[in-house]
């Protein structure tokens, strides 16, 4: 029962490629209630219904009243038109030009905000996480792809149309491998989980521990398999991780040189691979300009599993001017 609380509450929703999570959060980032379901990918209509049901269940279970809710924040993977509240395109979800913000707003009649998952992650770290003490930070989420979010002078930087900070699509080698965006040699095509698996499939041989781990089924190679083989001492797997770490370091050094941030935050599944980060740090030290390098701290994300919903809650507080 939370209806007796005086503190205003927020609903944060993370619409991910596989799971959708909704949470009731207070202004201190305490999660009071959390509800999670698979994200339906058959149609946008079913996805919207699923999202609304998750939020309704939060209201029902927590007995929170709509009048106690400051707002609903939605973080979705993909390209957003922030001003219009529209999901323009999502690579893994059936969403195209969907006015999701207004649909949710009309249903619950509370202030509703929509942003992409990478901006939301940056806001979560800035207002509730490891970035609280800094004014300029760049947050990278490295998983199947690479998402980027930027805070400049304590403000989220969205660019002219809402799609700034696409750090994953910074070209680091014009002749590099093809990227999902249609370009070639993007950071994401080198340093994401998908890129690690693809590179291993290209170069694996029968002597490698990778080959044994997948019993010769090349299509079973994943980033996890490569990491596992590297930790067992496999030289091919170690080389792949070293190359990926170097590519990541090149990308991050570019970001450091351009934005002179106080902090680079690295989150997502790939951030757990220590070997990658060690190589990336060495590459960054070689490439970043000395004054910029001296000022920047490179740290792991602090919000982890609930980063999506906490970031979506931070989005609401930020847009309502309750966070500075």
Q: Contact 140/125 with Cβ under 8 angstroms?
A: no
Closer residue to Zn ion in complex, CB, 34/181: 181
Query: In terms of DSSP bridges, do strands 19-26 and 86-89 run parallel, antiparallel, or are they unpaired?
Result: unpaired
* Token pair listed for 21: 């999570």
Closer residue to Zn ion in complex, CB, 68/163: 163
* Token pair listed for 192: 């994401």
Sequence-distant (≥ 6) Cβ neighbours of residue 64 within 8 angstroms: 2, 3, 9, 24, 33, 58
Closer residue to Zn ion in complex, CB, 94/177: 177
Closer residue to Zn ion in complex, CB, 52/181: 181
Q: Is 71 exposed, middle or buried (0-12, 13-18, 19+ CB in 10 A)?
A: buried
As measured in angstroms, the least distance from the Cβ of 175 to Zn ion is 14
Query: In terms of DSSP bridges, do strands 19-26 and 9-15 run parallel, antiparallel, or are they unpaired?
Result: antiparallel
* Spatial CA neighbour of 97 closest among 105, 109, 88, 106: 88
Instruction: Give φ, ψ of 35 to 5 degrees.
Output: -135, 125
Mapped onto helix, strand or coil, the DSSP state of residue 107 is helix
Closer residue to Zn ion in complex, CB, 26/243: 243
Closer residue to Zn ion in complex, CB, 71/268: 268
Q: Contact 137/261 with Cβ under 8 angstroms?
A: yes
Q: Contact 273/145 with Cβ under 8 angstroms?
A: no
Q: For residue 214, give the DSSP letter.
A: T
Cα–Cα distance between 124 and 119 in angstroms, integer? Answer: 9
As measured in angstroms, the least distance from the Cβ of 163 to Zn ion is 13
As measured in angstroms, the least distance from the Cβ of 173 to Zn ion is 12
As measured in angstroms, the least distance from the Cβ of 185 to Zn ion is 8
Residues of the shown chain interacting with Zn ion in the complex, contacts defined by CB under 5 A: 169, 179, 181, 183, 186
Closer residue to Zn ion in complex, CB, 176/269: 176
As measured in angstroms, the least distance from the Cβ of 142 to Zn ion is 14
As measured in angstroms, the least distance from the Cβ of 269 to Zn ion is 19
As measured in angstroms, the least distance from the Cβ of 186 to Zn ion is 3
């Amino acid at each position: 029962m939370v209806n007796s609380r005086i503190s205003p509450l927020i609903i944060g929703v993370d619409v991910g490629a596989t799971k959708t999570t909704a949470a009731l959060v207070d202004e201190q980032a305490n999660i009071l209630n959390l509800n999670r379901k698979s994200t339906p990918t058959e149609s946008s209509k079913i996805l919207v219904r699923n999202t609304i049901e998750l939020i309704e269940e939060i209201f029902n279970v927590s007995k929170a009243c709509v009048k106690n809710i400051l707002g609903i924040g939605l973080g979705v993977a993909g390209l957003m038109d922030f001003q219009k509240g529209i999901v323009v395109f999502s690579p893994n979800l059936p969403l195209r030009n969907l006015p999701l913000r207004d649909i949710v707003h009309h249903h619950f009649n509370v202030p509703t905000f929509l942003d992409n998952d990478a901006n939301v992650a940056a806001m979560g770290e800035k207002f509730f996480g490891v970035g609280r003490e800094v004014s300029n930070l760049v947050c990278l989420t490295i998983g199947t792809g690479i998402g980027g979010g930027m805070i400049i002078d304590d403000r989220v930087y969205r660019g002219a149309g809402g799609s700034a900070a696409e750090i994953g699509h910074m070209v680091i080698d014009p002749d590099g491998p093809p990227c999902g965006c249609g370009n070639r040699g993007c950071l994401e095509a080198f340093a994401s989980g998908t890129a690690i698996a693809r590179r291993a499939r290209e170069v694996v041989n029968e002597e490698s521990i990778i080959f044994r781990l997948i019993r010769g089924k090349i299509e079973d190679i994943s980033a996890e398999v490569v990491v596992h083989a590297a930790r067992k001492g496999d030289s091919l797997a170690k080389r792949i991780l070293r190359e990926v770490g170097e590519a990541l370091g090149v990308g991050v050094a570019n970001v450091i040189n351009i934005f002179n941030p106080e902090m680079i935050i690295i989150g997502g599944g790939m951030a757990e691979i220590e070997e990658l980060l060690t190589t990336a740090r060495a590459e960054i030290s070689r490439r970043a300009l000395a004054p910029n390098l001296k000022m920047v701290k490179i740290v792991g994300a602090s919000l982890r599993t609930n980063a999506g919903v906490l970031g979506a809650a931070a989005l609401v507080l930020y847009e309502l001017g309750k966070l500075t």
